[in-house]
Amino acid sequence: MKMKEFKGFAFVEGGVCAAKGFRAGGIHCGLAHKALTEDAPAAPVQGKQKNDLAIICADKPCTAAAMYTTNKVQGAPIAVTRRHLSDGRAQAVIVNSVNANTCNADGAQKAERMCKAAADALGLAPEDIIVASTGVIGQPLPIEPIEQAVPELAQSLSEHGNAAAVEAIMTTDTRPKEAAVEFSLGGVTCRIGGMLKGSGMIHPNMATTLTFLTTDCEIAPGLLQQALRDVVGLTLNRVSVDGDTSTNDMVCILAGDGAGNEPVHSEGEAYDTFRDALYAVLMNLARMMARDGEGATKLIECLTDGAADDRTAEIVAKSVITSSLFKAAVFGEDANWGRILCAVGYAPAEFDISRVDVTLASAGGSILVCKNGAGVDFSEALAKQILSEEEILVHVTIGDGIGTAVCWGCDLTYDYVRINGDYRS
């Protein structure tokens, strides 16, 4: 999937290892979905064994910020990470896939044991470790395979270990999701990079995913948290695949000082540049997540403009990308614009429906399908051609205001049900 460029920022390779002073790695430690207990470890799988445990580590202590799921049911790693980040500092992340370590009586204890294992292997304090888990909810986490694998994993960390790390956090994801950009602050080159997992159980309700970010740009703790909160609101919180918000969602960022920039201590040009760079990374990761929605064949991007304010535009755009009927129509490449107008109409916002215009666009062309709240004549053949592309833009104008917003979703396919019908097998 092609990166969506953002003026003034150059994309670079390396993901979470793109910034100076960060290493990462991943390993297969042997976790499994079903019937896995500490007394009965999983048998090896046929062929290549997918990585299921990762570590990201900074050379020096970092400023850190995070956001978490708003689900009332929260995984044990969330509680442990909150405690560890109470001082706004961290130096490493340990994360596993396959098992979410959620709704388990011993969950917090095992999350702490993951942190201790990583700390011992890296020569750090357990309180300087961020911990995360993703996978099946409600099954006890087998901690011994993790503890046994951590020393080898820690030894394997490298500046080129991002690919191994991102593989380790994938669950039903069909492709790795990484992005990194390079930018200049006062003539000094800085970088922000990150990796993300997310394919299902995704809805805009913070944070929709596990996302890990690193930067070598030195920035004050309060500004780092502010930038993360603001940008997540414009990116990860504007993605929906299926209307479900997970229990383990987390996005965190580690900020070191490897670039050697003048520290960003106040709002202004330098802060704005940093925030825009963070947006460039998270916006592209959000698009990748929507495109890789479980069973998805197409990315849907809804641009709403002409609203009285940005919040109104966001509500309307989210209503469109979460409409199951419209998502199914996109899968069938059917220009059923009535489903779009219906979703616009039940959005909980105030605007004049008689002023709504809808245009469909893609690499295959552009076509107006609705004007002033009513249908117009259009070529069904051209509409079919437009909807046959992998990325579909739905442009909804709801007036002549200055409010605008972009949200991302995907089509709804037969495979979504198949994947979630036997997720634990």
* Integer Cα distance of 112 and 130 in angstroms: 10
Residue 371 has pLDDT above 90, yes or no: yes
> For the CA atoms of the chain, what is the radius of gyration?
22
* DSSP E strand stretches across 31-88: 53-68
Residue 422 pLDDT: 66
Lowest mean pLDDT among 51-65, 108-122, 148-162, 280-294: 280-294
CB 341 within 8 A of CB 355: no
| Percent residues over pLDDT 70 in the chain | 91
- Is residue 208 part of the annotated active site? The answer reads yes
Residue 264 sits at φ, ψ, to 5 deg, of -85, 105
> SS3 for 396?
strand
pLDDT tens for each residue of 373-404: 999 999 999 999 999 999 999 999 999 999 99
* Integer Cα distance of 98 and 424 in angstroms: 9
What pLDDT band is residue 69 in, cutting at 50, 70 and 90? confident
Residue 37 pLDDT: 37
Across the range 313-324, mean pLDDT stands at 95
pLDDT tens for each residue of 139-195: 999 999 999 999 999 999 999 999 999 999 998 788 899 999 999 999 999 999 999
Residue 348 sits at φ, ψ, to 5 deg, of -75, 70
Question: For residues 225 and 6, which has the higher predicted lDDT (pLDDT)?
Answer: 225
CB 52 within 8 A of CB 46: no
- Find, among 172, 254, 158, 243, the residue nearest to 211 by Cα: 254
* Integer Cα distance of 128 and 3 in angstroms: 33
* Integer Cα distance of 224 and 255 in angstroms: 8
Residue 72 pLDDT: 84
pLDDT tens for each residue of 248-286: 889 999 999 999 999 999 999 999 999 999 999 999 999
* Average pLDDT for the chain: 91
What number of H helices and E strands is found in the chain?
A: 11, 15
> Taking the model in full, what pTM does it have?
0.90
Residue 272 pLDDT: 97
> SS3 for 418?
helix
pLDDT tens for each residue of 27-58: 999 996 543 333 334 334 345 689 999 999 99
Residue 199 pLDDT: 65
Let me know how long the chain is: 425
Lowest mean pLDDT among 235-244, 282-291, 295-304: 235-244
* Integer Cα distance of 314 and 275 in angstroms: 20
Kindly list the structural domains of the chain, giving each domain's residue range(s) and its CATH number in brackets, ordered by start.
10-291 (3.60.70.12), 299-421 (3.10.20.340)
- Out of 69, 208, 235, 359, pick the active-site residue: 208
* Integer Cα distance of 161 and 371 in angstroms: 51
Question: For residues 156 and 208, which has the higher predicted lDDT (pLDDT)?
Answer: 156
What pLDDT band is residue 202 in, cutting at 50, 70 and 90? low
Q: How far is CA 25 from the centre of its chain?
A: 19
List the beta bridge partners of residue 11: 181
* DSSP E strand stretches across 198-234: 210-215
Helix, strand, coil share (%) of the chain residues, nearest 5: 35, 25, 40
pLDDT tens for each residue of 175-189: 899 999 999 999 999
Tokens of 243: 């209307």
